[in-house]
Chains A and B, each alone.
Chain A
């Protein structure tokens, strides 16, 4: 077993609208801040990983602004799990002994982007001609179910109720969203920091029942970056750097194994359970040891199923678990104290690093007003549809 890998420096930009900045501006801001946070420079980095989900393969463009040092660049993409994939790629390179320092960056310009899938439908051809793997004579979105993400994840949440004896009401999902919007009021880097009442959430624009607009992740601009370092190299750095370093206790990536129905409705459950089980085994920590969790609430309906998938509650018990108040910031296991994707925002490639930044911030005791006191271990989770699941368990450095 290779030595541990540590997060030496990590940063995220303010999420929101940045009309005056392009994607490289945002990535540069996050990368330079992460390097400064770690007390290192671009010249120290031995690889760069760029998260390329929506904005393209721009790693080399970033280098041309902050340092063309000739190191290998990996442009990686895994839908909404891209940031976690970038982080994990750097971690793997360090574990493999190919590098002591690596930089992972994710950035996106998505403010005002609308639907990220199913946002347009190709026009009908003049004659019914079969196309594609289903021999479709015309576009299928809206004729054979929905291709939109709010609709797909609405079905994911409603299906949980079907399998587990109900409880998945419109109001329940709206209450999950109410929690995350309340949490966001303490996060100055969130896109939206406005508390919303249950009534405001339920009476907002319906997108795909039961998801209203504030129950959907917020498209926004933003970037996040992390500097990774090997165990051996960290020991040569200053005591202050060692004290602030955060241990990567588990780094796991899975894809969706075949299940009945998985090709008609994406199965976001099995791959998350598999990733969680592997992560807890790697880390030597269980769900009962976690001080906080940042999980992929791309929609309010998704947060519910991941309580169960991440083993935060009894199997089938996610509704009761939420209703107990456990996942509010003053509860037994705070979830998405950053405000989550619903209010912090979801600049796709940045999300899987920003989640880790949030957890690190608490483990370092630097989270200010929203600090979860005494946090020692936390978990960050993302899902990219298609599908990929990335989980990182982070651990505070020993004093």
Chain B
């Protein structure tokens, strides 16, 4: 069995994959990076808060021009997951304005981005449309 690692340390792959934020225990501000202190209140105590795996698209862009090595076009978005904003790509959707809109309901999904030289597989995340 190959080992699996997440693309970022705030992606949890086990069981039901989800994102996890650093939440300030004093003011509840949430962050997706290693913290020195809370930028909102100055607190230095944090707890891990699981983030809802569904949300709505607050805003998006369809990037057609990017650095060499970046596959274009792709949809970049900010997703409101139950009051916590998450930056991610939208996946499993046509990257054109006829198929993407603000307010669109989406859910988290994970997928392999390949194996490294040691055979370890990395998993990324994105949000896909919830189709009824």
A residues near B, CB below 8 A?
115, 118-121, 123, 126-128, 130, 133-146, 148, 150-151, 154-156, 158-159, 161-162, 170, 205-211, 258, 260-261, 263-265
Distance in angstroms between the alpha carbons of A148 and B74 in the assembled complex? 13
Partner of A142, one of B9, B30, B34, B67: B67
Distance in angstroms between the alpha carbons of A133 and B122 in the assembled complex? 18
Question: When the two chains form their complex, are residues B62 and A208 in contact, meaning their CB atoms are under 8 A apart?
Answer: yes
When C-beta atoms are compared, the residue in chain B nearest to A117 turns out to be B67
Q: List 22 A-B contacts (CB under 8 A).
A: A115-B65, A115-B67, A133-B34, A134-B34, A137-B6, A142-B74, A143-B89, A143-B113, A145-B76, A145-B87, A145-B88, A148-B65, A151-B66, A156-B59, A158-B60, A161-B102, A206-B65, A208-B62, A208-B76, A210-B97, A260-B30, A260-B84
Partner of A128, one of B31, B70, B88, B122: B122
Q: Is the interface of A mostly helix, strand, loop or mixed?
A: loop
When C-beta atoms are compared, the residue in chain A nearest to B10 turns out to be A134
Question: When the two chains form their complex, are residues A137 and B5 in contact, meaning their CB atoms are under 8 A apart?
Answer: yes
Partner of A134, one of B33, B62, B124: B33
| Contact status of A155 and B78, CB under 8 A, knowing A128-B122, A264-B32 | yes
Question: When the two chains form their complex, are residues A207 and B7 in contact, meaning their CB atoms are under 8 A apart?
Answer: no
Q: How large is the interface on B (under 10, 10 to 19, 20 to 34, 35 or more residues)?
A: 35 or more
Partner of B8, one of A119, A136, A260, A265: A136
Question: When the two chains form their complex, are residues A264 and B67 in contact, meaning their CB atoms are under 8 A apart?
Answer: no
| Contact status of A209 and B62, CB under 8 A, knowing A143-B7, A144-B8 | yes
A residues in contact with B76, CB < 8 Å? 145-146, 151, 155, 208
In the complex, how many angstroms separate the beta carbon of A93 from the nearest chain B beta carbon? 30
B residues in contact with A159, CB < 8 Å? 58-59, 78, 102
Question: When the two chains form their complex, are residues A120 and B68 in contact, meaning their CB atoms are under 8 A apart?
Answer: yes
- Near A by CB (< 8 A), chain B positions 108-132 give 113, 116-118, 120, 122, 124-125
Q: Mark B25-60, 1 if CB is under 8 A from A, else 0.
A: 000011111100001100000000000000000111
